[in-house]
Structure 1
Amino acid sequence: MTGTRQPVLSVRELNVDYGTGDGAVHALRDIDLTLHRGEVLGLAGESGSGKSTLAYAVTRLLAPPGVITGGDVLYHPREGAPLDILALTPAELRAFRWQELSIVFQGAMNSLNPVHTVRSQLTDVLKAHRPGMTRPERDTKAAELLALVGISADRLAAYPHQLSGGMRQRVMIAMALALDPEVVIMDEPTTALDVVMQRQILRQLVRLREELGFSVVFITHDISLLVEFSDRVAIMYGGRVVEEATAGALYRDARHPYSHGLLHSFPALHGPRRELSGIPGSPPHLTAMPSGCAFHPRCPKAFEPCAVRVPFLGHPEGEEERTVACWLHHDHDHDH
């Protein structure tokens, strides 16, 4: 791992609701996560588990009726005191986004403006945030950014429709890196691309992370991608983190039955053929969450406390590098 274990982003007890009052839906509950400097933190879970909501809450891009109802999101600069992202004014937020923290959205390859060239879209970011740059300097920087993501400078004059899906996606990644941010959040950035292109873009991203030293939160429902490209992985279900561990530890020995189900729902490329088990049932709807552990109606190992009590996210005995929210691994006779 390239991280020095210094935190760069820490989320504490984050809660998000959609709507207010009695009709409010709890989309995120008590999220605790730390992103360390220089690492790739993967975030996995089925649709509706809260992954994108978390990305939008952290970046303050949550659209109404989404409301942050509690918790802290702290950004730790290389020097100076931590910054409370949730307390930034609109002007401070504008300066902070893209410069310290940037985001590549889901379906990003359709986020480019169809009537502007690649050059004008890359240089607009620089014009807004680096007013001291001259036009030739902006053009040079735009060409450098494209080179970073493996696109030749002659494509600067192209319009988005003249680029393939993979190229447009890489232009969006170049844009996210334009101001040398410390943190890049990628929300399912490769979903619409074929598998070969996905891996190509992610390899490029990992190489850039090593070159430029930024940290990545990589959100996807494809856990096989996360295991391959992340340093640590957090698994979400029903608006909570249910397990967090290093990618290797999670792959070798997932402790939460949901993590285990996710890992066993895609075929192994090597070794003996095994039956795919998958996960029975469907994810819960946020308006009708089960009591106790949200996963218990689908869990093959559910037992007496699971339907009644929400398990806490804690370390299983002897495992300081892993946290899991499951009564199989905690003493359920005691309250936490």
Structure 2
Amino acid sequence: MTGSPVLTIRGLTVDYGTGTGAVRALRDIDLTLHRGEVLGLAGESGSGKSTLAYAVTRLLSPPGVITGGEVHYHPPGARDAAPVDLLALSPRRLRAFRWQELSIVFQGAMNSLNPVHTVHSQLTDVLKAHRPGMKAAERTARAEELLSLVGISTDRLTAFPHQLSGGMRQRVMIAMALALEPEIVIMDEPTTALDVVMQRQILRQLVRLREELGFSVVFITHDISLLIEFSDRIAIMYGGRIVEEADAAEIYRDPRHPYSDGLLHSFPALHGPRRELTGIPGSPPHLSAMPAGCAFHPRCGKAFAPCAERVPVPAAPDGEPARSVACWLHHPVPADSV
């Protein structure tokens, strides 16, 4: 059961580059993450998922620039307190905010961990920076506790990253993200390089930790089948926009956007009768040559006249206030497009 909002994103827009050569990577993103919720973010490569994560955490590398929108964090137990404007935080306050209230697990743990430092050194470094009053013995005890949380033997504290398996390195990154018990954990395709058995083990541990510690999760992946299993809600991205958002069960049973339906029919069902895998024809559009109207219409088998002319705005279909979809199939067609 999810609670009040913990993170709200409104109108977030991101460009790569400036001036006439700028390329728009995110376009007016609106999302709400609720307390204790797992929000899945799905889409093909290049849809803007990772850019969204880095924009929210203000980790965008040049030439990425946030050109519009708001990102607000709502502290726990403070109904009357003003939300924190993440885009307005000073570098000092932002440094204190990261890991303390919001942490991120990056794609590719081997590249995220420092190869010349032990697991102990990297876990305690977070505590040393944010908990300067902790004694060395207390930091070590906390590091041991964190490894136990993610199912790794404490004798691995003295190991270097290359001495761990891929799954163990990823779990060390999850342990590091949970070190300061943040309210929000953003996970950017954390299981992409792992086999399916290890993927399921890590996801089961993540679900257990979420239930035990009560943090909220934004889980980013191109594999929508993973999200269906353990997400509360799913947002589908295409061409830098949110094209559909709904409860995970609703997305699975009745996807409304043709792109969502294509993603769902691109992987085999684990249960029930066999079904034909249809996939999605064509390739995602290049950001510098985005089609007019709905960005998906050149690949959509259900496209009609207004799809190539007007950009559909996410809205709730009739009788379904809990979901939104950006598709002319489910909204009134503009009179001048008929």
TM-score normalised by length of structure 2: 0.97
SS at match of 2:172: helix
Post-superposition offset of 1:109: 3.4
Counterpart-to-counterpart distance in 1, 2:177 and 2:185: 7
Residue 114 (structure 2) pairs with residue 109 (structure 1): no
SS in 2 for 1:306: helix
Cα distance in 1, alignment partners of residues 289 and 106 from structure 2: 28
1:241 aligns with 242
What is the RMSD of the two structures over their aligned residues, measured on CA atoms? 0.9
Q: Does 1:61 align with 2:62?
A: no
Q: Is the 8 A contact 1:109 1:172 kept in 2?
A: no
Q: What is the CA deviation profile of residues 11-60 of structure 1, one whole-angstrom value per residue up to 9, with x for unaligned ones? A: 00000000111111010001000000000000000000000000000000
Q: Give the match for residue 231 of structure 1.
A: 232
1:30 matched to which residue of 2?
A: 28
What SS does the corresponding residue of 1:219 show, helix, strand or coil?
Answer: strand
**Secondary structure of the structure 2 residue equivalent to 1:317:** coil
- The separation in 1 between residues aligned to 2:172 and 2:111, in whole angstroms, is 11
Structure 2 counterpart SS, 1:120:
helix
2:73 aligns with: 75
Match of 1:195 in 2: 196
What is the rounded CA distance, in whole Å, between the counterparts of 1:213 and 1:312 in structure 2? 33
Aligned length: 333
* Separation in 2, partners of 1:266, 1:81: 44
Distance apart, 1:334 and its partner CA = 5.6
Percent sequence identity is 81
Maintained 8 Å contact 1:147/1:153: yes
Q: CA deviation at 1:269?
A: 2.1
Tell me if structure 2 keeps the 8 A contact 1:242–1:326: yes
SS class of match (1:8): strand
Corresponding residue SS for 1:332: coil
Q: CA deviation at 1:159?
A: 1.0
Secondary structure (helix, strand or coil) at the match of 1:328 reads helix
In the alignment, the residues of structure 2 paired with residue 91 and residue 299 of structure 1 have an alpha-carbon distance, to the nearest angstrom, of 47
| Counterpart residue identity of residue 131, structure 2 | R
Alignment of 1:241-320 (within 5 A): 241-320=242-321
Q: SS where residue 305 of structure 1 aligns?
A: helix
**For 1:122-143, what per-residue CA distance to the aligned partner results, in whole angstroms no more than 9, with x for missing partners?**
0000000000000000000000
Match of 1:94 in 2: 95
Query: How far apart are residue 331 of structure 1 and its match?
Result: 0.3
Equivalent-residue separation in structure 1 for 2:322 and 2:43 (angstroms): 20
| Partner AA of 2:62 in structure 1 | P
State the TM-score, normalizing by the size of structure 1. Answer: 0.98
> 1-side partners of 2:224 and 2:110: how far apart?
22
Tell whether 2:136 aligns with 1:135.
Answer: yes
Counterpart CA distance in 1 for 2:10 and 2:148 is 37
**Preserved CA contact (<8 Å) 2:109 2:166:** no
How far apart are 1:272 and its partner, in Å? 2.0
Aligned residue for 2:190, secondary structure, equals coil
Deviation at residue 108 of structure 1 after TM alignment: 2.1
1:26 partner SS: strand
For 2:85, give the aligned amino acid: D
Runs of 4+ that moved beyond 3 A: none
Gaps of 5+ in 1: none
Q: What's 1:3 paired with?
A: 2
How far 1:222 sits from its partner (Å)? 0.2
* Equivalent residue letter for 1:12: R
* Residue number in structure 2 paired with 1:47: 45
CA distances 1:157-214 after superposition (whole Å, capped 9, x unpaired): 1111111110010000000000000000000001010011011101100110010000
User: The residue matched to 2:122 in structure 1 has which SS?
Assistant: helix
Give distance in 2, aligned partners of 1:221 and 1:131.
39
**2:186 aligned residue:** 185
Aligned to 1:173: 174
The code of the aligned residue for 1:148 comes to: L
Instruction: Tell me by how many angstroms 1:110 deviates.
Output: 2.8
